[in-house]
Structure 1
Amino acid sequence: MGSHTKRHRRNRRLLALALAAGSTASLPPVTLSEDPHRPILPEQRCLEIRSPGQLCQVCVPVTPRPATVLDNQFDFPTSYLTLNEAINITLANSEVVRVLGGVTASTSGRTIYDAAITNTTIDAQRATFDPNLRLNNVWNQTESPNAVFDPLDPANAIIGGTQNEGYGLDFGLSKRNMLGGTSSLGVNSNTNRITPGIVPLNPADRTTTELSYTQPFLQGAGRVVNQAPIVLARIDTERSYFQYKSAVQQSVQGVIEAYWSLVFAKTDLWARRQQVEQADFANTRTEARIAAGDANAGDLAQSQLALENFRASLLASEANVLQRQAALLNMLGLPPYEAQRTIPVTPMAEELIEVDWAAINELAQRERPDIIELKLILEADQQRLLLADNQARPQLNGVALYRWNGLEGIAPSGNRIQSGSGDFEDWSLGVNFSVPLGLRAERASLRQRQLLITRDRANLDQGLHQMQHSLALSLRNLEQFFAQYERFQAVRQAARINLERQLAQYNEGIVQFIVVLQAIVDWGNSVSAEAQALSQYNTEISRLELQTGTILQTHNVVFFEERFRSIGPMGRLGEEPCYPRSLPPTASVDRYEGGSQPSEEYFDLEDPVAKRDAGASNLPNPVDLDREVEFQKVDETDSDEMTDEEIDEVLRKRSATRTLGDRIRGLFRR
């Protein structure tokens, strides 16, 4: 009844969503540009918000339902994937760079287009020094009425007027140079014809040609100051590139971590399955012992409880595999569903790498993108300080002008006359000075820039400090995980021997099931811990390369510039030159070994219960638990403690065969 009600409610919700979607889709599309056609537009007195269905709709890839714990799809066909292929697929699908965060991937906010977009600001700043052309043409006609006395009737007046037709040309060309000066060339021509009228020249054409130059001597003067905006644009482009590079480095490290995490999850899943099989086998044995009268109901309840707990752990392990597999697919840029299950096949590194502490510190301060960005921020601060220092100076400009004036026209006799070249010339020289008294705002800006440099130097020192601690942490983790891997190898061997012995004694009724249960837990945990330690060690190798800023170099990843055509200096009628478009990374990683079997198989996974009989001959001889232990009798009168030599002598005499601990240590000895 309860499940039927839940299904009914779920169907009602789905129906409501479908109706809502259908009603939204039926609405007519509305654009923001639709305004009423009125001479005066009305006021906006209400909120006009379009519904989501009226906005631009995009296509979502249609994929089957992804795997879940209720439909894990573990029986699907498999597809082997090496770590080289995983990294190359990630780089090929990194138009928007993704980074790993826990069991999912998210966007880093960086794309392959960022550096090219910022690069356009360099030309925007250079445009300040481009020549500026001005050309204005004006045609006009003016007719002004005038009242005059009638010469034939002085008591009367007549209205007349003159017509003035004119044409004006204004041409100018100016350019600013790197020293801050501005050169200008100007040509002006004005032609006037007055009808009717008797004037000396009709039409008359006045022309002027002038050259001028303005040079600042204090504020705005100097090549370095005038080039500072261009240098700042270049620094911003470099910052954008290194921010993008940092995101790609994190992406490569993230896909490596996701790959090894999936290998560990699959190994842990195998161990949990073995625990379930062993617990199920022990439960079956308990039932048989109850039938034979060798066990009671309490033993059966205990074994069933243990079996269910192991099944719950198995379910959590299966969910972890699905989550890790989904995280890897997300990093690869692939949909959540895959027709063929991805199987990692690259073996993990099992050798301890040697790390030169001084060398990785030098590499990190030179190659880490975050340290490089702090250095670029300091360079930008220096350029802004130059600008602020220059702005804190008075305005002192030298001005020079030279002008040639000309006049030509038609006299009443019909002859065209004109002035001679160079007959009428103007010139001027001047020095202009202006300054805000006190320069309060400019001096405040200068102090601000000086303090910003001090702050950013402190940030760089802190960045180097944090860099060293991050390197030290990676180094400690690297050696810790490798040492734990070696220890957990020994623990796994000991746990397997312990499990086999406890199962054998339980089947003979010597020990209780709680001992077998603990042995099963210890063995499963030891397999999982060994795989986790090795996975963490391999992940930490990539993290150390990330901390040094060399993970792309060690994986042979470089960036290549893609270009595209756009409008050039000659305008839309000229040829379109090529400009930077994007910086995608190369997908040419071949650092890691391939493989012909799943990566977890390199852990020598085998069922200790199934292999117990086959490998019994290779195990130490069983210990006779019923054998009486002989003790050395010490005289009551002898109150002195035994020396170490006497204890060793007693142990040599009493240990005709090796102890169980010696046998285990012999198995673990390399």
Structure 2
Amino acid sequence: MDQIRTRYPMKTQFHQAWMLVLIGTMIFSGCQPTQPFYFKESGDLSLYLDKATDIEYADVDHQRLAEVDNAEAPFTISDPFEMDESKIWNLSLEEAVANSLKNSKAIRTAGGNAVFRVIPGTTLTSDAIPTTLTTRNDAIPTIYDPSLVSTDPQFGVEAALAAFDAQFNANFNWDRVDRPQNYQTGNPFFVAQFGQNLFTGNVELTKKAATGTQWSLRQNNTYDYNNRTSLIYPSSWLANVEMEARHPLLRGSGVQVNRVNVMLARIREDVSLADFETNIRNLVSDVEEAYWQLYFAYHNLEAAKTGRDSALVTWRRVNALMINGAEGGEAEKEAQARQQYFEFRSRTESALRDLYKAEGSLRYFMGLAATDGRLIRPASEPTDAWVQFDWFEIHDEAMSRSPELRRQSWRIKQREIELITARNQLLPQLDVVGLYRFLGLGDQLISGNRTGRDFQQVNSKAWEVLTGGDYQEYTLGAQFSMPIGFRKELAGVRNVQLQIARAKAVMEDMELEVSHLLTDTIRDLDSNYNLVQSNLNRLIAADKEVDSVQAAYDTGTVTLDLLLDAQRRRSDAQIAYFQSLIGYNIAIKDVHMRKGSLLDYNGVFLAEGPWPDKAYFDAQGHARRRSASHYVDYGYTRPGVISRGPVPQGSSGLGYTEEGTIIHDSVISEDGEEIQTPTPAKMPTSLDAVSLEPPATTEVASRSTQSKSELDWNKLGLTKLVSEVRGSTSTPQPLSAAKPASRRVIESASHESGQNPTPAKTAATASGWQAAKR
């Protein structure tokens, strides 16, 4: 009991100590440092990063275009429009197309239809400039796309041809073996501990032929050094040279099935060329449409300015009457005249804004600086010729020359070639194999002199025994495999057949759509030409109405509202005429676009650009060697033809009449006399034509004294249609009756009457296609 009592207090003290330690740990655990303590710490935390990602600039050696760095402040309607003629850039349509092709590495296009159109009375936004380049830049077409497809390392033509290139393979290994053996000690045939140094090396050259045959030439060397007591000598070299040929008899046999990948790669390249042509065509279409929209913007501004000036004259006259308290100067009449003036002033401001937008849109498609201190003014005039097309001829041309249809036809051909591979998979795999081998064994591998020793003798040479030809082996065999039922292969054939059916169905509906689109453009062409004539007669009548009502108002026989309405109708008629004239030229462009001749119409040709001189030198050397060699008939035929030849360019016809020429039509003046349609409208030649500032009071007063027969056609932007607008009470003849009465013949229907588009030269490099215009 005494011993037990003496030990118990010690155990109690031990438990109390542990409890104190645990309590202290719990109390002070929250105050301990979260980072470890180091006795030697330099304080250099340059490798510490407090974030995993950050928004940074890429280290790219890139230089911006001069058109970006040198862009000037844009023109706005708040800026005074006072520039000399040197700041006006008179640009022809041919120059616009040439500049756009020259500056289009990335093809800026709105899909062939310019997204910006000047429509009077509408509110325009920033749609004049597409945002595709900045929002979908990975999908933007470029001049490098055909070359990228051709040089694709996986699916390009060169990648497909690489399957027939010779392959060189080499493998070298050194193994050290030190392994205990499960053999009884003292056994004369086996050792208890096996040691070996083993070296294996082989070199192989293989090539696949177009028929599917796999040729192989191998050289194998093996060095073996081990401690087995049964060997003649502990180390030996085994060398052999073998030739092998493996030829498929069923699946994978034949030139056509083995060159399927090459043909598919070629088709992908042709598809990319069709896409390239489509993108260039859309670019040219957008440039031409933007050009004519800018042309209309100038005349829309001129019409608004003419209406503003007329309204200003009327307002000042009524205001003068109101100040003097004379009849005709009532407050409601003054407010009415003032309202019309500010209405036309707002039209003028909107028209100037639209002009800047149209000019910026054309600059965008041309790849120019947004602003360079100059304002582009179209120098080419729209044609007013009566253009006719033979429906059956252009319909057949659209079916054969449309790049979209040609692209789809390549897709059908692609599916048909894929069907060749799918059907070939229905055959069993039957290969014949032949192998022949020379071998030799020796104490050493090779030496410069032959010793004549056999492999059983010391210091024999493996290569000497091999080249002696005493030891030869060969293998002849056949390998056969076939899936029972061909479930997967039959599904593959059916899938390709359905894809062919789908592609042909799409082709049929695409042709129907092209036919509908061509029909719609022909209707637009005819309707816009008739609108040109109708709006011209409307303009002549509106101008005469203004003169007549102005004279009647001066004598006090009509009220002010009739004069204001007449002035408004004349401005609307002027805008409608130019709108229909531009619509007619755009309709001509659309017909050529739908029938596949828009590039020919604009003098643009597509072709592969020049290669480096070394490429021509090498190609000529290969051609000479082939010409000097002897033709060998290998006994097999080439694959089937997949192309029908190049697409002709520059062979499309333009519009014509029954006599084979393009003609102008005639219109009827208000007094019933036949007159010729106007020569193409001229652009305003003075900067005053686009000035927003109203003319001085004295200048306006002088304008009010003009005779009604002295219409300022030059100010209107038109040449003088009639030498004298004579008043007549005779009833005008129907417009359709005048159509065949008188015709003015011209030579062609290019962008300017009587001028043919200049054929273009193409310029490209080996890295990309380009379409250029000279």
Contact 2:547 2:708 in 1 (8 A): no
Q: What secondary structure sits across from 1:293 in the alignment?
A: coil
Contact 1:285 1:507 in 2 (8 A): no
2:79 is the counterpart of 1:78: no
Match runs of 1:354-503 below 5 Å: 354-409=388-443, 414=458, 416=460, 419=465, 421-503=468-550
Offset of residue 529 of structure 1? 0.9
TM-score when scaled to structure 2?
0.66
2:371 is the counterpart of 1:337: yes
2:357 is the counterpart of 1:314: no
Contact 2:223 2:238 in 1 (8 A): yes
> How large is the Cα RMSD of the aligned pairs?
3.9
| Residue-by-residue CA offset, 1:354-405 (whole Å, 9 max, x unaligned) | 2011211222122211010011001001011111111233222222222233
Contact 2:384 2:680 in 1 (8 A): no
Instruction: Give 2:592's aligned residue.
Output: 545
Offset of residue 511 of structure 1? 1.0
Instruction: Give 1:248's aligned residue.
Output: 280
> Closer, same or farther in 2 for the Cα pair 1:346/1:283, shift >3 Å?
same
Aligned counterparts of 2:733 and 2:308: Cα–Cα separation in 1: 29
Instruction: Give 1:572's aligned residue.
Output: none
Match of 2:318 among 286, 292, 295: 286
Name the amino acid aligned to 2:145: D
Contact 2:709 2:726 in 1 (8 A): no
Instruction: Give 1:647's aligned residue.
Output: none
Match runs of 1:229-248 below 5 Å: 229-248=261-280
> Closer, same or farther in 2 for the Cα pair 1:523/1:233, shift >3 Å?
same
Offset of residue 163 of structure 1? 6.0
Contact 1:74 1:341 in 2 (8 A): no
Match of 1:187 among 219, 229, 248: 219
Contact 2:94 2:602 in 1 (8 A): no
Name the amino acid aligned to 1:548: K
Offset of residue 208 of structure 1? 2.1
Q: Which runs of 5+ in 1 are unaligned?
A: 1-35, 39-43, 152-158, 569-585, 622-657
Aligned counterparts of 1:162 and 1:430: Cα–Cα separation in 2: 37
Offset of residue 554 of structure 1? 2.6
> Closer, same or farther in 2 for the Cα pair 1:128/1:67, shift >3 Å?
same
| Residue-by-residue CA offset, 1:437-492 (whole Å, 9 max, x unaligned) | 32222211211110111111111111111111111111111111111111111111
Aligned counterparts of 1:558 and 1:450: Cα–Cα separation in 2: 37
> Closer, same or farther in 2 for the Cα pair 1:175/1:662, shift >3 Å?
closer
Offset of residue 283 of structure 1? 0.6
> Closer, same or farther in 2 for the Cα pair 1:492/1:145, shift >3 Å?
same
Offset of residue 565 of structure 1? 6.6
Instruction: Give 1:4's aligned residue.
Output: none
2:565 is the counterpart of 1:518: yes
Aligned counterparts of 2:224 and 2:435: Cα–Cα separation in 1: 27
> Closer, same or farther in 2 for the Cα pair 1:193/1:273, shift >3 Å?
same
Offset of residue 134 of structure 1? 1.4
Instruction: Give 1:634's aligned residue.
Output: none
Name the amino acid aligned to 1:96: A
Instruction: Give 1:350's aligned residue.
Output: 384
| Residue-by-residue CA offset, 1:56-104 (whole Å, 9 max, x unaligned) | 6965525222122223746362121111111110110111111243223
Offset of residue 140 of structure 1? 4.8
Percent of aligned positions that are identical: 22
Which sits farther off after the overlay, 402-411 or 389-398?
402-411
Contact 2:198 2:223 in 1 (8 A): yes
Match runs of 1:102-117 below 5 Å: 102-103=115-116, 104-106=128-130, 109-117=140-148
Q: What secondary structure sits across from 1:378 in the alignment?
A: helix
Aligned counterparts of 1:57 and 1:124: Cα–Cα separation in 2: 30
Q: Which runs of 5+ in 2 are unaligned?
A: 1-45, 117-127, 134-138, 445-454, 616-648, 655-678, 691-699, 712-722, 743-774
Q: What secondary structure sits across from 1:612 in the alignment?
A: coil
Offset of residue 597 of structure 1? 9.9
Match runs of 1:87-126 below 5 Å: 87-100=97-110, 101-103=114-116, 104-106=128-130, 109-120=140-151, 121-126=156-161
Aligned counterparts of 1:249 and 1:241: Cα–Cα separation in 2: 12
Aligned counterparts of 1:68 and 1:615: Cα–Cα separation in 2: 34
Match runs of 1:549-588 below 5 Å: 549-562=596-609
Match runs of 1:56-71 below 5 Å: 59=64, 61-71=69-79
Q: What secondary structure sits across from 1:205 in the alignment?
A: strand
Instruction: Give 1:632's aligned residue.
Output: none
Contact 2:382 2:680 in 1 (8 A): no
Aligned counterparts of 1:278 and 1:542: Cα–Cα separation in 2: 36
| Residue-by-residue CA offset, 1:546-605 (whole Å, 9 max, x unaligned) | 11111212322123434667999xxxxxxxxxxxxxxxxx9xxxx9xxx99953579xx9
| Residue-by-residue CA offset, 1:288-339 (whole Å, 9 max, x unaligned) | 2222521211111111111111112222211211111111111111122131
Aligned counterparts of 1:250 and 1:162: Cα–Cα separation in 2: 79
Which sits farther off after the overlay, 48-57 or 79-88?
48-57
Offset of residue 496 of structure 1? 0.3
Match of 2:171 among 114, 136, 140: 136
Q: What secondary structure sits across from 2:266 in the alignment?
A: helix
2:45 is the counterpart of 1:50: no
Contact 2:185 2:192 in 1 (8 A): no
| Residue-by-residue CA offset, 1:485-508 (whole Å, 9 max, x unaligned) | 111111111100000111121122
> Closer, same or farther in 2 for the Cα pair 1:434/1:74, shift >3 Å?
farther
Query: Number of matched residues?
Result: 560
Aligned counterparts of 1:201 and 1:48: Cα–Cα separation in 2: 65
Offset of residue 173 of structure 1? 1.3
Name the amino acid aligned to 2:683: S
Which sits farther off after the overlay, 324-333 or 48-57?
48-57
Name the amino acid aligned to 2:147: A
Instruction: Give 2:729's aligned residue.
Output: 659
Match of 2:207 among 169, 172, 175: 175
> Closer, same or farther in 2 for the Cα pair 1:449/1:596, shift >3 Å?
closer
Q: What secondary structure sits across from 1:111 in the alignment?
A: coil
Aligned counterparts of 2:158 and 2:478: Cα–Cα separation in 1: 33
Offset of residue 176 of structure 1? 1.2
Contact 1:186 1:210 in 2 (8 A): yes
Aligned counterparts of 1:430 and 1:517: Cα–Cα separation in 2: 103
Offset of residue 37 of structure 1? 10
Name the amino acid aligned to 2:143: I
Offset of residue 139 of structure 1? 4.2
Which sits farther off after the overlay, 406-415 or 246-255?
406-415
Aligned counterparts of 1:145 and 1:462: Cα–Cα separation in 2: 79
Match runs of 1:209-220 below 5 Å: 209-220=241-252
Name the amino acid aligned to 1:69: I
Instruction: Give 2:746's aligned residue.
Output: none
> Closer, same or farther in 2 for the Cα pair 1:349/1:600, shift >3 Å?
farther
Q: What secondary structure sits across from 1:416 in the alignment?
A: coil
Aligned counterparts of 2:575 and 2:599: Cα–Cα separation in 1: 31
Instruction: Give 2:11's aligned residue.
Output: none
Q: What secondary structure sits across from 1:552 in the alignment?
A: helix
